[in-house]
Chain A
Amino acid sequence: EPEVTQTPSHQVTQMGQEVILRCVPISNHLYFYWYRQILGQKVEFLVSFYNNEISEKSEIFDDQFSVERPDGSNFTLKIRSTKLEDSAMYFCASSRDRDYEQYFGPGTRLTVT
């Protein structure tokens, strides 16, 4: 059964550094999402992406965040200058269409020191 994959599983970075989190959505899916979960807190929506542009973003998704689908298979989340409070589990998800279920990847644990 097709799955959403994410790399790396764990990333440690220093404050102020740039990080890129990578995701490979399910191949015939058209909608892509990033969510994050700070330890002990709710899973929060960051951004949705369709047809090579952002379709929706939350207040969390400020100018330090960006998303890209560089090659038709990968979907990336870039954090330009990481802060301590960016430490969280980041989940990528994809759906076949907007009314279909979102399938989640296993997550990337980002630790900012």
Chain B
Amino acid sequence: AQTVTQSQPEMSVQEAETVTLSCTYDTSESDYYLFWYKQPPSRQMILVIRQEAYKQQNATENRFSVNFQKAAKSFSLKISDSQLGDAAMYFCAYRPYSGAGSYQLTFGKGTKLSVIP
């Protein structure tokens, strides 16, 4: 079974600074997807960024980028130029490639990010 581990229950960052959230996962699959979701206090989860395991290039989305290390099974999220609106719970999630017949997301426990003005 796949597992996703986020070892940092809480993090804080000064506004305009950079912060990195950690995520590790365990799988025996070679093809899969990894995601970071953001859950603001209103509690609707929003997709931040997605990475396909077969792609060596790290995904980026504006101020958000990932460091994907497939051999180490590590998938960290870097937020640059942090803004007050980035304060939220961040979830790392894994999903197998659909050819495996499963579409379910497996989530980590989340990291609560606070942004200090």
Residues of A with Cβ closer than 8 Å to B? Answer: 31, 33, 35, 41-45, 48, 55-56, 58, 89, 91, 95, 98-99, 101-107
Contacts and interface: CB of A to CB of B under 8 A. Distances in A.
Which DSSP category, helix, strand, loop or mixed, fits chain A's interface?
strand
B102 interface: yes
Contacts of B110: 42
Contacts of A55: 103
B43 A106 contact: yes
B109 interface: yes
Interface residues of B, number: 21
A56 B104 contact: yes
A19 B36 CA distance: 31
Contacts of A107: 43-44
Which DSSP category, helix, strand, loop or mixed, fits chain B's interface?
loop
Given A101-B35, A106-B43, A42 B105 contact: no
Interface in B26-82: 35, 37, 42-47, 50
A19 B102 CA distance: 27
A42 B109 contact: yes
A43 B47 contact: no
Contact of B104 (A33, A89, A105): A33
B105 A45 contact: yes
Nearest to B107: A43
B106 interface: yes
B44 A104 contact: yes
Interface string B78-104: 000000000000010000001001111
Given A98-B98, A99-B98, A45 B106 contact: yes
Contacts of B45: 43, 91, 104
